[in-house]
Structure 1
Amino acid sequence: MITRSYAPIDSACLGVASQDKVADVLDGHPKGLHVDVIAEKAQLPAEKLARVLRLLAVKHCFKEVSKDVFANNRLSHSIRSTTPLAALVSTFSDICHENAWPFLYSTLADPEYGPSNSPTKTPFNWSMRKEKPDATFFGYLAERPEKSEMFGKAMTAFETGGVQEFYPIGSLPTGATWCDVGGGQGGVLIPVANTHPTLRLTLQDQLHVIEEAKQHFVLECPGVLNEKRISFVPIDFFKEPPVPNQDVYYMRMIIHDWPDAECIQILENVRKAMGSQSRLLVRDFSLNSMIDRSDVHVDLDNVQDLAHNLLLRQRLRGKPSRWLFKSDVSMAYRRLPMHPLWQVKQVITERLLQERAIALGSAIDPSSHITYTSHLQSYLTFCKIHGFDINPTPDTLSFYVVFMCHHIQPRSVGQYLSGIANQLEHLYPHIRTNRSSALVTRTLAGCNKRLGSGVTRKDPLTLDDLLAFSSHARDPTHDDLLFLSILFCGFFGLHRLGELTWPDRLDSRDWRKVVMRTTVHVAMDTFDYILPTHKADRFFEGNKVVIAKRDGEIDPHFVFTRYLASRDRRFPVLPALWLKADGTMPARSWFLARLHARMPRSIGGHSLRSGGATYFASQGWPDDRIQAVGRWTSEAFRMYIRKNPVVLQALLHARASSA
């Protein structure tokens, strides 16, 4: 209870960070800024601001990199001044904290305000009862354009998914009409307009909100305005019906704002406008009840009676006409039959949100996430330098392509775009469509032709190289045996170096990818082990890698069993297969340092895999066998073997013999 009592302090601190744009100040400074610098830009006392930011950092919003040095994290990044969430935080701190929430008890205890359900007898009205006793919250916003615009933007922060998620808009006929009643600035209509170009749209709200919506559409959806597919019509939904005979009337987060009597008035006006084929979609909050639902006695026919009265101008035969109030819906929503005209979307529980967040965080490999984050940072820096909004429109992405192609190889820019799409897709669902647009793809193709250069690949290892390493280690140490074993297994098992060594970055290491000693099986002529995952194995199904014994000095079976004996003698209980003399797993840099001690820089980590593929091709192995052994899901392996004249001659000879 003590923690709950302190909750207003958290909100107040968020208000400080939001209103003084602390997240904006820290944007572009991944290593953080000292609080003195932040305070100077925010014009606040540094010592007190540090306490505010430290409390937020403890709550996982911002992070304190070192003493009094703060940086953005994912949570704080979401309250930059351009985001809807920042507007929501500001609305709470600027309007609700000041004018509403502190007066809850005073309102409840007042003999006039307490029993009343009037929208002019709320805690908000209590704060201004002497100045404007009959004012409403929305009337207050109408007189304050800046606060109204902020509130409209804040409401889009509640959108957890588009209407497309629960209603089949695509099934509507061409030219169907859609009216968003109380649609605000168009947070719902804009994605609908962008994805369904045949709909005729109408947005209705108060006059001042309509003007805000027009400006919002100019910035976010100008094509709909140019095509004249949308109408902006002012409305007072207590006094007048919406535009008539629309195919769909949509109301999002309207009903919960008003008492039952006002809700009935709104819905009656909507009913007056509806035609025989019209339907009403209501999307709103539904409160969970903690009581035993078996004790709730609600005539569920009333739900269908309401639906028929509102939607079809009919009444269920043999049933009295009766309104179903919000309180009834809140008790009966789980028992509500899924009537095709009554869409109910149950509130997602906190546990589901948590598990989904964990699943989304595990969707890509940690190393890929680091790379994608770097790609995103380059895009954000580009937008900041050139003054572009971060909204990834085809124009912005094509400009980014041109910019990056003058700094890095054009063939890498496509990978950058993929990383950016992965990181921004949850904020901008249209980014993959924009990334694949003709403007972006043609710009990238043109830059490749103008600025591209040939690919420089590492040379493949050869059997002579393996023999040289093996001959050099006449009296090998344990680490020498480990190096030779990785070298031979990488060559004959067609491994990527990352499958046999730790990444150098600590945050990229994953025990799920480690080859375990318990999976090793040694036979007279072969040995095998389980590779838990690889680049093409996204679901950790695993592969058995089998390597055969060879006659002569270059024998992977002899090298591996010699290392295995040394490893088991030193570390009989440690789980990992590959272990150095100090008991740690070998890092990529450790292996490459030993490799380059005897090899030129033209030989690298990928030389093991390409060398093995080249060797097997020279032995006449068919392409599909090399592809299967090397766990390639694409035709990429061909680039290792097709340009080698020795391999080409061997392949031609093998195929001529088989013919």
Structure 2
Amino acid sequence: MAPKKQTAPASTRKRKATSMADNDNVTVATLAAVTKQITADVTSAVLQEMRRNAAPSSSAPVSAAAGSASQLEDANTIATQDQTVETARLSVSSQPVPTSGLEDRNETDTKIQGSCSKSRPTGDCNSSPPDTRELLSIIGHLLNSSLAPATQIVYNKALTAFHTFAFLHHFDPFGHNVATSHIALFVAHLFHQKLAHSTISTYLSAIGYAHKLLHNADPTSSFLVKKLISGARRLHPTADMRLPITVHILDDIVHAASMTSTTVYFKILFQAMFLFAFNAFARIGEITLSTSSSNNLLLSDVKIEGGSHNSKIHVIFQRFKHNTNNTRHEIVFGHGPTRVSAALSLIQYLALRGNQPGSLFVRSDNSPITRSQFDKQLHACLAFCKLDSSRYKGHSFRIGAASYAAEQGCSDAKICSMGRWKSAAFRKYVRSNIVT
């Protein structure tokens, strides 16, 4: 007789059905659910502290009337805090991400003492304490701000994939009992789906981030998992196939912009963008509007120095990748190595653009140039020059700038500074002996 097929418990089936029904909401709710769970844990610690403080002390007798009034006030306060905790936990449980394994937390490091807040300019230790809900809101805001917007998008995608995998294999992705074997199976699943080893590593970073926030052991840090990533890298090595925009190609596509643009404004706009991207070592998300980046350069970030024959462009980068301490970075360029002057091209564009505040590169109606619009024009210019547009992307300007600087004998430190790299990662952009 064939063995009887096991049926998952009703709670598991219900949870799985809820996950699949709410799949569209998971992507934006995953990190939010973790943040809400953390604030709920802090609230629980506050509640326990208040309960301990509300317990009657045998060493400090008080009158019956005073004791009753005090206990009634404490009971009302605790009831209010109980309601706050329950509201927070219901909010978390309503998310598609399962939280059954998140409720037991080590609270020794989350106790909030009832001391005076040093941040308040007035008042003393006898004044009423800060509103707990307001402080919890600040905790959530700080956590949300700890990751760059682009990182949040990638981490949400990773946690969504892990969440779906966990439901299919019947374990809680955020629970204490996530084992190395679960992570190993997930790595195998991602590899089977033909994800690059770098993408798999990023997914594991997201999982480790969530577990460490929730006071769990990091299930991704085991020796086995590291060896699985090494195996994925050896079996499917990846290489950056993007080619650099060289000075010669830059001259060609600047000319092509005048032949492929639909209006004079677009011609001058894209010529300025191409030359600016190369000479300023700009990332594509800094000169175009992108959903994955909020680092778009503004008109106020650019200053012009000198006359028509010796113009210099000063670009102040205030928002850029990995700039966690908000350091301002300035790069200055003039004519540049191309036939057309990069500085005069930008000045000509700014004269047409006008002085309306907003993004540096905009359409004639003052709406920012999007990533897709830039890519479309670059593709048209490359096709005009009979170049393979699959090998040249928006980042090819930055690759070309780094390669050109290396050819000119610039030191590693100088290239790092010009490109705003914080490590030797720039070396992977430096290409030599490129045949075009």
Taking structure 2 as the reference length, what is the TM-score of the superposition? Answer: 0.68
Match 1:598 to one of 375, 381, 401:
381
Letter in 2 for 1:397: I
Q: Which residue of 2 aligns with 1:179?
A: none
1:538 aligns with 2:327: no
CA contact (8 A) 2:254 2:274 kept: no
Q: Which runs of 5+ in 2 are unaligned?
A: 1-10, 41-67, 69-74, 76-98, 117-124, 383-388
| CA–CA distance in structure 1, aligned partners of residues 28 and 415 of structure 2 | 47
Cα separation, partners in 2 of 1:348 and 1:446, compared to 1, 3 Å: farther
1:400 aligns with 2:186: yes
Letter in 2 for 1:522: I
Cα separation, partners in 2 of 1:543 and 1:30, compared to 1, 3 Å: farther
Match 2:151 to one of 353, 361, 368:
368
Q: Which residue of 2 aligns with 1:25?
A: 17
Structure of higher RCO (CA pairs closer than 8 Å, 6+ residues apart): 2
Helix, strand or coil: the match of 1:527? Answer: strand
CA contact (8 A) 2:288 2:369 kept: yes
Q: Which residue of 1 aligns with 2:304?
A: 522
| CA–CA distance in structure 1, aligned partners of residues 331 and 31 of structure 2 | 43
Match 1:459 to one of 218, 240, 243:
243
Letter in 1 for 2:264: T
Q: Which residue of 2 aligns with 1:587?
A: 370
1:471 aligns with 2:260: no
| CA–CA distance in structure 1, aligned partners of residues 31 and 256 of structure 2 | 55
Letter in 2 for 1:425: K
Q: Which runs of 5+ in 1 are unaligned?
A: 1-18, 33-62, 64-69, 86-114, 116-121, 123-152, 167-282, 289-333, 336-345, 648-659
| CA–CA distance in structure 2, aligned partners of residues 154 and 537 of structure 1 | 37
1:489 aligns with 2:273: no
| CA–CA distance in structure 1, aligned partners of residues 321 and 31 of structure 2 | 30
**1:95-174 alignment runs, 5 A limit:** 157=103, 159=105, 162-164=107-109
| CA–CA distance in structure 1, aligned partners of residues 28 and 342 of structure 2 | 50
The alpha-carbon deviation at position 634 of structure 1 amounts to 1.3
Q: Which residue of 2 aligns with 1:440?
A: 225
The alpha-carbon deviation at position 470 of structure 1 amounts to 2.4
Aligned-residue CA RMSD (Å):
4.3
Cα separation, partners in 2 of 1:382 and 1:373, compared to 1, 3 Å: same
Letter in 1 for 2:238: G
Deviations 1:51-100 (A, max 9, x none): xxxxxxxxxxxx8xxxxxx999569968xxxx9x8xxxxxxxxxxxxxxx
Helix, strand or coil: the match of 2:392? Answer: coil
Deviations 1:484-533 (A, max 9, x none): 21211111111111111111x3xx453xx332222322123311121221
Percent identical residues: 23
Q: Which residue of 2 aligns with 1:110?
A: none
Cα separation, partners in 2 of 1:601 and 1:162, compared to 1, 3 Å: same
CA contact (8 A) 1:579 1:586 kept: yes
Q: Which moved more, 1:619-628 or 1:476-485?
A: 476-485
Cα separation, partners in 2 of 1:76 and 1:162, compared to 1, 3 Å: closer
Cα separation, partners in 2 of 1:367 and 1:347, compared to 1, 3 Å: same
| CA–CA distance in structure 2, aligned partners of residues 72 and 27 of structure 1 | 14
Q: Which residue of 2 aligns with 1:644?
A: 432
1:557 aligns with 2:343: yes
Q: Which moved more, 1:606-615 or 1:466-475?
A: 466-475
Helix, strand or coil: the match of 2:368? Answer: coil
Cα separation, partners in 2 of 1:427 and 1:366, compared to 1, 3 Å: same
Letter in 1 for 2:376: A
| CA–CA distance in structure 2, aligned partners of residues 76 and 467 of structure 1 | 47
Cα separation, partners in 2 of 1:357 and 1:26, compared to 1, 3 Å: same
CA contact (8 A) 2:100 2:172 kept: no
Match 1:612 to one of 383, 401, 408:
401
Deviations 1:420-455 (A, max 9, x none): 223443335322xx3222121122212322x32231
CA contact (8 A) 1:516 1:530 kept: no
CA contact (8 A) 1:458 1:603 kept: yes
| CA–CA distance in structure 1, aligned partners of residues 100 and 426 of structure 2 | 52
Taking structure 1 as the reference length, what is the TM-score of the superposition? Answer: 0.47
Match 1:412 to one of 189, 199, 204:
199
Match 1:498 to one of 268, 274, 285:
285
| CA–CA distance in structure 1, aligned partners of residues 400 and 180 of structure 2 | 41
CA contact (8 A) 1:30 1:71 kept: no
| CA–CA distance in structure 2, aligned partners of residues 500 and 567 of structure 1 | 15
Deviations 1:250-269 (A, max 9, x none): xxxxxxxxxxxxxxxxxxxx
Computing the radius of gyration over CA atoms, which structure comes out larger, 1 or 2? 1
Letter in 2 for 1:627: C
Letter in 1 for 2:274: L
Cα separation, partners in 2 of 1:30 and 1:490, compared to 1, 3 Å: farther
Match 1:388 to one of 160, 171, 191:
171
The alpha-carbon deviation at position 473 of structure 1 amounts to 4.2
CA contact (8 A) 2:30 2:159 kept: no
The alpha-carbon deviation at position 552 of structure 1 amounts to 6.1
Helix, strand or coil: the match of 1:28? Answer: helix
Cα separation, partners in 2 of 1:603 and 1:154, compared to 1, 3 Å: closer
CA contact (8 A) 1:23 1:72 kept: no
Cα separation, partners in 2 of 1:399 and 1:376, compared to 1, 3 Å: same
The alpha-carbon deviation at position 545 of structure 1 amounts to 2.3
1:629 aligns with 2:414: no
Helix, strand or coil: the match of 1:528? Answer: strand
CA contact (8 A) 2:313 2:332 kept: yes
Deviations 1:141-186 (A, max 9, x none): xxxxxxxxxxxx9998485x532567xxxxxxxxxxxxxxxxxxxx
The alpha-carbon deviation at position 638 of structure 1 amounts to 1.0
CA contact (8 A) 2:279 2:336 kept: no
Helix, strand or coil: the match of 1:549? Answer: coil
CA contact (8 A) 1:494 1:630 kept: yes
Cα separation, partners in 2 of 1:24 and 1:383, compared to 1, 3 Å: closer
Q: Which residue of 1 aligns with 2:352?
A: 566
1:378 aligns with 2:167: no
Q: Which residue of 1 aligns with 2:122?
A: none
Q: Which residue of 2 aligns with 1:118?
A: none
Letter in 2 for 1:400: F
| CA–CA distance in structure 1, aligned partners of residues 345 and 283 of structure 2 | 19
Cα separation, partners in 2 of 1:375 and 1:500, compared to 1, 3 Å: same
| CA–CA distance in structure 1, aligned partners of residues 375 and 300 of structure 2 | 27
CA contact (8 A) 2:244 2:400 kept: yes
CA contact (8 A) 1:402 1:447 kept: no
